Chains A and B, each alone.
Chain A
């Protein structure tokens, strides 16, 4: 092989490597998966149970495609545990050349949990996840309670509550308001689940009661059930 041929071969090799690198970067830059689901209510208690309802799950999305799923429910009543109406769940997701993402929303109205221990005129969970060249992000903007009361504590009007607000429910357990569970690295992937009301029912076995304070001392705390109202999840990864 003479020098001229080698020069041609090297130029082709460099061109090929550049092309290969560009192809690889292009592949790395395109989103490969989006996911989403939403449901208004979930009850799993000794009083009664009801699965995630109405449940909307994003169908598989591939290529430069998109999809939407929704579900409606008129009312739900699990005696003593939860009653609510106007139940709606929606999720959608898309993959494009420059950006990809998913967004989910769920809502429930006239919410009454554990015979009035927690009430709300309405609960809306709303999340979105997106990935583009600028990174991957998720947020829960638009997630609010309307006239929420928790064990006598009122949150008037339509407002957001700080993420992961924990409120004790003496003798019952506790509730997490605006429970947020993030996933992903924020660079190539991001996801977020929001449970607007998540009640954890607990019981304590063993231990003693302090005669001075009336508080339990010791014992083993066991979660005996849970109630979720307003759950929305979105995720994106590439």
Chain B
């Protein structure tokens, strides 16, 4: 009887252990504590270990560094230039949404393997769209390079999509135009309460200026692992 009882306990336990092992096999690399340098390097392959970013929302850039929603802390992180670069500041309501997956090319450069970025500049009534498939920008046929780095907030991390010298090309509507652009977002509330308005976004365009790094008015930026 004791043997039978023991067997009944053991087999479910082994089954549970097996299921856990199987679950771990199905979901590798789910750790939220990736190896990240505390400073920016170019181009550091290790900075692509957490390569999935998604988010969206709204910013209200003013071009005023004294404004409460100007993210002076994160703007220079990663060696990014001070705004506006290029001038002028892009101001007014800007809404956006994106999904970007990072990877590495044969040379170890951090590239965007696939991504969609939509940015709407409401004051200008312009809608930019970037589409990246199989590592190639759909609007210029070139690879899109990216960088991840720690920022000025404890635990915060940023990604820049379209780093020099390539930047990237967006479609601009109305009119199906094209424009060189760069997209940067920072996730400053990883793993914690998400409606803190501490995440930030910056949109740089060759012909319509630079929002500067601006805290979100609403929405969320999420770096969600590899």
Partner-B contacts on A (CB < 8 A): 1, 6, 9-10, 12-17, 19-20, 22-23, 26-27, 63-70, 72, 74, 85-86, 88, 90-101, 103-105, 107, 109, 122, 124, 126-128, 130, 132-134, 137, 139-143, 158
Contact = CB atoms under 8 A, between A and B. Distances in A.
A16 B16 contact: yes
Contact of A13 (B9, B32, B120): B9
B36 interface: no
Contacts of B58: 105, 124, 126, 142
B104 to A, nearest CB: 18
A103 B32 contact: no
B20 A19 contact: yes
Interface in B31-81: 31-32, 52-58
B166 interface: no
Interface string B125-139: 101010000000000
Contact of B6 (A9, A74, A104, A122): A9
A27 B23 contact: yes
A64 B218 contact: no
Interface residues of B, number: 59
Interface stretch (B94-102, B146-154, B156-164, B202-210): B94-102
B217 A142 contact: yes
B127 A91 contact: no
B122 interface: yes
B194 A63 contact: no
A10 B9 CA distance: 8
Interface of B: 2-3, 6, 9-10, 12-17, 19-20, 23, 27, 30-32, 52-58, 93, 95-99, 101, 116-118, 120, 122, 125, 127, 129, 173-174, 190-195, 197, 216-220, 222-226
B56 A88 contact: no
A98 B191 contact: yes
A94 B224 contact: yes
B54 A126 contact: no
B118 A70 contact: yes
